[in-house]
Chain A
Amino acid sequence: MSRSTTVPEGTSAQAGRRRTAGRQPGRTPGRHGSGRPSGRRTLLGLDRDGLILVIPALLPIVAFSVYPLLRGIYLGFTDARAGRNSVTSFTGFENYAQLLGDSYFWSSFRIGLIWAVAVTALQFFLAFGLALLLNEPLRMRWLARTLALVPWAMPPVVIGIMWRLVYHPNAGILNTILGDLGLISRDVDWLNTAELALPAVILVAVWAGMPQTTVVLLAGLQGVRQELHEAAAVDGAGSWRRFWSVTLPHLRPIIVAITTLDFIWNFNSFGLVYVLTQGGPGGETRLPLLFAYEEAFRYGNYGYAAALGNAMVIVIALFVVFYLRIRMREDD
């Protein structure tokens, strides 16, 4: 691979900026300490080694992710429908005008936001607490650690089935326990009662999503350098103080990464609720993706479904940009 001419097609997003970035020394001297002579020719700020290392990861992304996404976005501006003989034509913003007047769309969006914020916040605080506990030399820690991984190892479909059993109005454990405690007088149909269904599925999502957040935070906690803690302790910092001044700053990039991803994943989640309620009762748990799925695969409105996807992208993007800016400012 010749280092001066090879531009991976994959980096088309950067290609326009190649000229400005091209010949500048991309590496900070001594930054990765390999002791190589400086002044090697660089491309996009990478030397040959860098390019060789990075291309295998980028190429599949471009072929099977960038291109389909662009095509999907375009579909949102057409009247594409399922069916062999249907002719697709460009309709501009017609889909979006229709979306704005669609009350199902608005209620689905509201539900999606409540869901994503609630699940992400609960997930994070519960997972952080658990990660801190697992980082302590407690007995039975192995059991907690193993159990903490279990929900993650279970497919959402299985988790959905399991909680259906827990919530089952007649044969479920939840009604039995609450009944024995005298908290409810008759069996509650958790997943089919309008005001209970959303909290019920949120609880399931927290249960299901907590482990992966825990593992990531735990890995981060274990990367905190012990001698920093020791130095702080020698200087008289209590454990609370050390948590704020040593642990938290170290974890910040990991926390930002995992909460951002959690939010996006939750907003785009599908399988769990599909199994639990199918969006019911009366659309009370119909998340945006469930709504889009119904449009695309039940009614065959590809264009309308893609337009809905585009709208979701904008909302998520706004949220993430807003969130990241706050976090970045905190870092400075």
Chain B
Amino acid sequence: MMTRTSPSRRALQYLALAGYLVFLAFPLWWLISTALKTPQEIARIDPTVIPIHPTLENFRTAFEQQPILRSILNTLYVAGVSSLVTVGLAVPGAYVMARYRSIVGKSTMVWVLLSQIFPFILVIIPLFLIVRDFGLFDTHLGLIIVYIVWSMPFALWMLRSHVQSIPIEVEEAAAIDGASRVRMIREILAPLLVPGVVATALFTFVSAWNEFFFALVLLKSPELSTLSLTLVKFIGAEGVARLGALAAASLVATIPSLIFFAIIQRHLTSGLLSGAVKS
């Protein structure tokens, strides 16, 4: 775009950005800082913002106390599988719902909204009974199925919005140019949908990664336990002396999904519509 932004406006934008950065970063900084402190330093009456004697002792303590690593692998597995399956199933469905004038599309969207309205408490009791009847209680598979089903409505809803925001003219032009439907989807629609698909995949992965209510009810064995479940066990016994280990375990718990986000965040902005609808 050729329009210019005035310097004073830019300055205000940077000021606002700085405000956001502080708000977003400061609790995080405190978590990291606490994780690196010695118990003596945490117990000080006037807490220090930057650790005086940074130490990794808390991490050692955390790993010795709880099976953090195994929980992380469990969670990665459950969240990864359910995210991939959900998006794989949802993209074609969302396309149909956006582009066909069909009763299926309409009533599915109504159901999608309805199912989001229902609180967990309403489904968790019957779901527990069903999962148990299928012999899937206390298995990862049972949890994965539940996650797929519960992120599917959202995935459909989001992807449908994204398909709709792609101008129908793009497809029509492709058809006029003689492109087959498969080719149209692969070479024209798919690249335009990438940001939407990535956003949706992120959403489903992270909602599974973060979830803990279903996991609490559907898993029992400590060795299958997801991260949130393991950490909740930590919380009860948090005297000031143990805050460091708690912070360290929480940090470790966040690292895998941080890496995932770091890799994927670039795709949120690259490509997009550049050149796609150019005349």
Contacts and interface: CB of A to CB of B under 8 A. Distances in A.
Interface of A: 11, 13-14, 17, 21, 26-28, 30-36, 44-46, 49-50, 52-54, 56-58, 60-61, 63-69, 71-73, 75-76, 80, 126, 129-130, 133, 136, 138, 140-141, 143-158, 160-166, 168, 170-173, 176, 207, 212, 215-216, 218-220, 222-223, 225-227, 229-230, 233, 239, 250, 253-254, 257, 260-261, 264-265, 267-268, 270-271, 275, 288-289, 292-293, 296, 302, 305-306, 308-310, 312-313, 316-317, 320
B84 interface: no
Contacts of B5: 136, 239
Contacts of B43: 171
A161 B258 contact: no
Interface in B1-23: 1-3, 5, 10, 13-14, 16-17, 20-21, 23
A103 B271 CA distance: 55
Given A54-B96, A144-B17, A64 B103 contact: no
13 contacts: A50-B96, A61-B111, A64-B127, A64-B146, A68-B123, A129-B20, A144-B20, A150-B261, A161-B250, A223-B165, A239-B5, A305-B121, A309-B119
B24 interface: yes
B113 A320 contact: yes
B169 to A, nearest CB: 9
A107 to B, nearest CB: 18
A153 B42 contact: no
Please classify the interface of chain B as helix (H, G, I), strand (E, B), loop, or mixed, using the class held by over half of its residues: helix
Contacts of B129: 71
B90 A54 contact: no
B232 interface: yes
B18 to A, nearest CB: 9
B253 interface: yes
Please classify the interface of chain A as helix (H, G, I), strand (E, B), loop, or mixed, using the class held by over half of its residues: helix
Nearest to A64: B149
B176 A162 contact: no
Interface string B206-230: 1001111100000000000001100
Given A46-B104, A176-B47, A257-B158, A239 B247 contact: no
A153 B17 contact: no
A218 B97 CA distance: 23
B104 A54 contact: yes
Interface of B: 1-3, 5, 10, 13-14, 16-17, 20-21, 23-28, 30-31, 34, 42-47, 49, 89-90, 92-97, 99-105, 107-108, 111, 113-127, 129-130, 145-146, 148-150, 152-154, 156-158, 161-162, 164-168, 171-176, 181, 184, 195-196, 199, 202-203, 206, 209-213, 227-228, 231-232, 234-235, 238, 240, 243, 246-247, 250, 253-254, 257-258, 260-262, 265, 268-269, 272-273, 277
B104 A11 contact: yes
B125 A306 contact: yes
Contacts of A17: 103
A143 B262 CA distance: 11
A142 B13 CA distance: 15
A75 B164 contact: no
A305 B125 contact: yes
B199 A44 contact: no
